Structure 1
Amino acid sequence: MDVERIGTDLQDTLVELTDLSLQAKQLHWNVTGRHFLPLHEQLDGLTDEVRAAADAVAERAVALGYAPDGRVGTVAKESPLADVVGGRVADTEVVAHVVAVLGTVVERMRRRIDTLDELDPVTQDLLIGIVAGLEKQRWMFDAQQA
Structure 2
Amino acid sequence: MAAMKSTLSDAARQVAANALQNTLVDLLGLSLIGKQIHWNVVGSRFRSVHLQLDELVTEVREAADQVAERAATLGVPPDGCPATIASAIALPVPQADWVRDDEAIEIVTEALHIAATRLRKRIEATENSDPVTQDLLISVTAELEKQHWMFASGHAAHAQ
Determine the C-alpha separation between the residues in 1 that align with 2:93 and 2:50: 19
What is the aligned-residue RMSD (CA, Å)?
A: 0.7
Which amino acid in the other structure matches residue 19 of structure 2?
A: D
User: Structure 1: which 5+ residue stretches go unaligned?
Assistant: none
* 1:144 is the counterpart of 2:154: yes
Q: Give 1:125's aligned residue.
A: 135
1:72 pairs with 70, 77, 82, which one? Answer: 82
Q: Give the Å deviation of 1:145.
A: 2.0
User: What pairs up with 1:80-95 in 2 under 5 angstroms?
Assistant: 80-95=90-105
Q: Secondary structure at the match of 2:24?
A: helix
TM-score by length of 1: 0.98
Q: Secondary structure at the match of 1:84?
A: coil
More helix by percentage: 1
**Cα deviation per residue 1:72-125 (whole Å; 9 max; x = unaligned)?**
000000111122211110000000000100000000000000111111111000
Q: Runs ≥4 in structure 1, deviation > 6 angstroms?
A: none
Q: Is the 8 A contact 2:15 2:126 kept in 1?
A: no
Q: Give the Å deviation of 1:17.
A: 0.4
Q: Is the 8 A contact 2:13 2:129 kept in 1?
A: no
Q: Secondary structure at the match of 1:115?
A: helix
Length, aligned pairs only: 146
Q: Give 2:54's aligned residue.
A: 44
Determine the C-alpha separation between the residues in 2 that align with 1:115 and 1:74: 22
TM-score by length of 2: 0.89
Provide the identity percentage. Answer: 47
Say which one has the larger Rg: 2
**Cα deviation per residue 1:30-80 (whole Å; 9 max; x = unaligned)?**
110000001100000000000000000000000000011000000000111
